[in-house]
Structures are given as structure tokens and as C-alpha cells.
Structure 1
């Protein structure tokens, strides 16, 4: 009886957890396919009369300026993730392969910086960005996202520890300097870690609302998240159109995640074990 009860509770918890994730997504999808009249007469899970009603998506795409927003998001995402990979892998390379004074203090500094709430430093950060002339440009969030977080450094360090130092020594015997060792040996062997960091960091940047909204107030510089927020204004009561805009935001990240999810799990598992 105890074993049967444990199995029942296990699957019940899995079903409930799945429902918590799936039900809101299904509700948004059904709402995006319904008309204004169907919204007034039906409930949140009511079936649409026409499953091929894409008028709400056309309205959201055109009036919500989703295409320029996707272009801004892609621009920010590309340069931010690229800088994160370069800075994070170089930092991990220096920490793992070199011995220097105050090494533990440097690691502690990264940890302390990660623990400090970002909101407490926003006044100083805003003044720095404005002083650099990057305010209300697409480079403002890129400069802020470039700061590599401790999770990315940890992932790179864990993978780097699995790379034998004998490869470094052999390359140095052939006359390679530190940067050549990093570029020719270390970086190619970090492909699983790079894929993991790209996906994790990319999802965070894609979903971020606070930094683009604060540092890029211009409507022409709207990202996916801020454009969806501003789109709520003229359509505050038309939830079917807002839901269509939400679906347009969800679909790209969902497709990328489903295609590359194995890299996430493999990256975290390998990094934890190596």
C-alpha cells in the first residue's frame, strides 16, 4: 500500500506540475483564436468557432510592431550572447589555468557581485550608461548583458577542468602562447558548454523586460517584451488580440528550446559530473 501510494503521489504531482505549465498556454492559444463576440459569451477555455481565425495575429503583428521588435531583440541577443561567451570563457580560462595572488579573493568577488541585488545599483548604472552616451540606444542593454554572471563562469570552469593540462603543455612546447592555447585548444573543446551558456543566457535576454524598458524608452527601439507591454494600451480590453501577440512572442523561444533542449540537459549534467 505504501509503495502504491508513493507511486500515485509521484504521478499526481507530475500531472499537477504539468497542468500548471500547460493550462495557461492552452488558454492563451484558445483566446488568440476567438473573436470579440466569443470572448464576451464564452469562458477562458471555450473552444473558438473558427480554428483558422488569424485576424488577431495580423492585428498584433502589424499594430504591435512585432517585426521591428524582433529585429531589435535579435540584434541585442546576438552581440550580448557573443560577448558573454568570449568574456566568460576567457575568465574561466584565466581562473582555471593560471595561478596568481588573490585568486580566491577574485572568485569571492564574482560570488558577492552575483548576490548583490541588481536593483540596488541601478542609479549608478543608469548614470554610467547615460555618461557613455548609450542611453536610448540598442547598445545600452548590450553593455549591461555583457557582464558575465557566475553561472556562466561556473559552467565554463567545470568543462575546462575536464580538459587535460597536458594539451596546454604540448602546445606551449610547440611555441604557442596563452592566447593561442585558448583559441586553438580550449575554445573548440568547450562547444557543449558554449551551447549551454548560449541557450540559458539567450532565454534570459529574450524574456527580459526591465532593462530594455528602462534604457530604451523610444518606441522605435522596442523589444519583444516591451512591445507586447506597450501593445496593451489601445487594446486593453481586447484580450484576444493581446493573447495573439503573446503567442507571437512565445513561439520563437519555444521552437528554439525544443530543438536545442538536449544541449541544456547535457551541458548541465556533464558540467556537474566532470
Structure 2
């Protein structure tokens, strides 16, 4: 099979991406190694291996500082938000892709504007609305915010549903299936690659999010893992050994998710963007 030669631009992009990946691996590796150092060892041996591997940092953050509670908060908020996001965005995309009504294209453009403008630019009116309805300091309010920020997932689902043959929908209607039955029992099963993609990308975004929990979760018992890590940096003298240990723990679920669903991410993006 003929393989197109890579041009100068391709080589430059490859070199830059390779350097970026190499730097990222080095920094992450140093973070993991430093998480086993004592504060004194980290101060005088920043980039070397620890003189003696110690799990004291992990004992401090997990047990003494009760980081496991923040871990549980992050897991619950992330999982609940992803389930809500997938359900709402897929159902909305199904309606936009399968039905023709006045204003449909304008509605699509409106939703896609979220890809251009981050949610942070509307943080003040959002805070006023959330406080008015007593949704601050609640996981329900956070789940609603993450669900509303569905521009990417809506775009992927919409493109996928548009590429499905209309005969599939019409034959289901002839067989007597209702719209919700078609959506739940036909459309969702065949859109598994897209679902895995949306779930994985959303997991990383929500799990690593710091800004929205900082604004809307002032109650300490509701703090997520990112807020808990920030507490170690908020002091005048940062406890970097605890920061590295907590950050390493926060990195583990992300690595696991990508190792399991890496193939599904690629196939899902292809299914939601390539037109035949």
C-alpha cells in the first residue's frame, strides 16, 4: 500500500510532540518519585532518587488528613456528572439529528458556541443563579453545571446520529417502537464507541476541574480532590512532599481510564466526526 511521505511540517510536528511527551513523562516520573521523599530529602535532592523510600507522605494525606473523603467526593461527583451528561447530551443530539423543525440549525450553533467560549466567562451570573436557587455547596448544583457544559459531547453525538441511515429509524417506527424505545434500545447500543469517548474525555475534565469546585463548593466536607491538594499549597510554606503524594493518587484513576478506553476513544472520535 502506498504511504505518503512526511513533509517538513510533519517532521516538525512529530519532533515537537515527541519533546512534549518526553518532558511530560519526565515531570510525572519525578512527581511520583518525589512522593516517596521526606520534606528534607525533597529540599536537598529535588530531582534524584530518594535516599530511602518512605510511604509517610501517603499515610499523612490519606489517613491523618482524610484525603480519602475528598477522593470519594471526586468519584461520586465525576461518575454522577458523566451519567447525567451522557444521558442529556445524547438525547438532545438524537432530537437535533433526527427531526427537522424551525430553528434547529440555530439551536445547534447555540450549543456549539460552548466550544468557543469557556464556562468561566459566565461565572458571575452562574453564581447568582446558583445562589438564588440554593444550589451552591451541593453536589446537585455541580452535576447540573457539568451537564449544562455539554458542547463537546453534544457535537460528537449529533454527528454520529446524523450519519446513521434513516431507514433504521423508520423501520423501528413501522415495528411500533416509540421514540424513547428507539433512543434507548437501538440508538444507544450502537453508539457505544461515542459513549466511551464522551465518558473518558468528560472524566478527565471533571476529575481535574479546580475552578468550579473552588467557586461553588465552599463547604469543606464537600471539597473534591483538587481542592484538597490546593490546601497544601495555600499555606505560606508549601508541603510539596504531600502535594506530590496527593497528586500521584489523583493521577492513578486517569491513567487507568486511559489504559482501558484508549482504543474506544479513537474509534469514538472517528465515528463522531468522519463522514462517508
TM-score normalised over the length of structure 2: 0.89
Give the count of matched residue pairs. Answer: 270
The ranges of structure 1 where at least 4 consecutive aligned residues each deviate by more than 4 angstroms after the TM superposition are 3-12
The 3 A distance-change label for structure 1 pair 120 and 98 is same
Judge which range, 233-242 or 60-69, deviates more. Answer: 233-242
Q: In 1, distance between residues paired with 2:171 and 2:12? A: 55
Distance 1:272 1:148, change over 3 A: same
Residue matched to 1:198: 199
Secondary structure of the structure 2 residue equivalent to 1:33: coil
- Show the 5 A alignment for 1:19-30: 19-30=22-33
| Separation in structure 2 between the aligned mates of residue 212 and residue 165 of structure 1, nearest angstrom | 42
CA distance in 2, matches of 1:82, 1:220: 23
Structure 1: gaps (5+ residues): none
For residue 208 of structure 1, report the CA deviation from its aligned partner: 0.3
Q: How does 1:3-22 map to 2 (within 5 A)?
A: 12-22=15-25
- Which residue does the alignment assign to 1:155? 156
In the alignment, structure 1 residue 38 sits paired with structure 2 residue 26: no
Match of 2:62?
A: 61
Match runs of 1:92-241 below 5 Å: 92-233=93-234, 236-241=237-242
Q: For residues 219 and 194 of structure 1, do their structure 2 counterparts lie closer, same or farther at Cα, with a shift above 3 Å needed?
A: same
Closer, same or farther: CA 64–186 of 1 in aligned 2, 3 Å: same
Of 103-112 and 186-195, more deviation after overlay is shown by: 103-112
> Retained in 2: the 8 A contact 1:87–1:148?
no
Query: How far has the Cα of 1:234 moved from its partner?
Result: 5.7
TM-score (norm 1): 0.90
Which residue in the other structure is 1:47 paired with?
Answer: 49
CA RMSD for the aligned pairs? 2.4
